[in-house]
Amino acid sequence: MSNETPIGSLTGGISDEDAKLVDSILNDINDTPGQPRGQSNQGPSPSPEQQKMMAQRQQQMAMQQQMAMQQQLHQQQQMAHQQMDPQKKMGPNVVNTTKSPENLLDSIKSESKNILLIVVLSVVFNLDQVNDLFKLQPSLFVSEGGALNMQSVLVKAILIGLLYYVVKTKVF
């Protein structure tokens, strides 16, 4: 699409070259087929009023063609603009799916703080001191054998998630 015209460079008028092109097309249309371009019909010559009406018709046709070309160009630009909008919206959210070793290492390096935070939170919440805090409420968090039950594991996971969110968003 190297033939695209930026919207900012468009003007409302038509160039002299384009006007001459439209005039030459109209002249070709008005010439009879099989007759050389410079020759006219051998019938009677049109009266001045008819010539004036023909000139007006040609001008009207040229203006209609010009308006049609401008509308078509405008529609093409709108379509191109609409096609670019979803790409702009989607552009920053595109995920790189290539899994080469370099990209994997780069992503681990960029996410290392998050990974380290999750590891530290998991280790801290699995210490015996934290488990002893849950054992203060044996009816809720301790099973019959004296070990922590699923409710305590769920509470730990929720606390880890909340702390991760607080640290990640720096909400204090």
pLDDT digits (tens, 9 = 90+) for 33-88: 555 544 544 556 667 788 888 888 888 888 888 888 888 888 888 877 777 765 55
- With a threshold of 0.75, does the pTM exceed it? no
Tokens of 84: 């670019």
Residues forming beta bridges with residue 148, ordered by sequence position: 142
pLDDT at 109: 84
Structure confidence at residue 160 as a pLDDT band (50, 70, 90): very high
The rounded distance, in Å, linking the Cα atoms of 115 and 28 is 75
Q: What pLDDT is stored for residue 104 in this prediction?
A: 86
Say what the pLDDT of residue 19 is: 77
Q: How far apart are CA 59 and CA 37, in angstroms?
A: 20
Smallest Cα–Cα separation from 58: which of 36, 15, 17, 27? 27
Query: Of 168, 166, 163, 165, nearest to 121 (Cα)?
Result: 163
Reported confidence tier of residue 108, pLDDT bands at 50, 70, 90: confident
Terminal-residue alpha carbon distance, the chain: 52
Q: What gap in Å lies between CA 138 and CA 149, rounded to an integer? A: 10
What is the token pair recorded at 139? 């009816």
pLDDT value at residue 80: 77
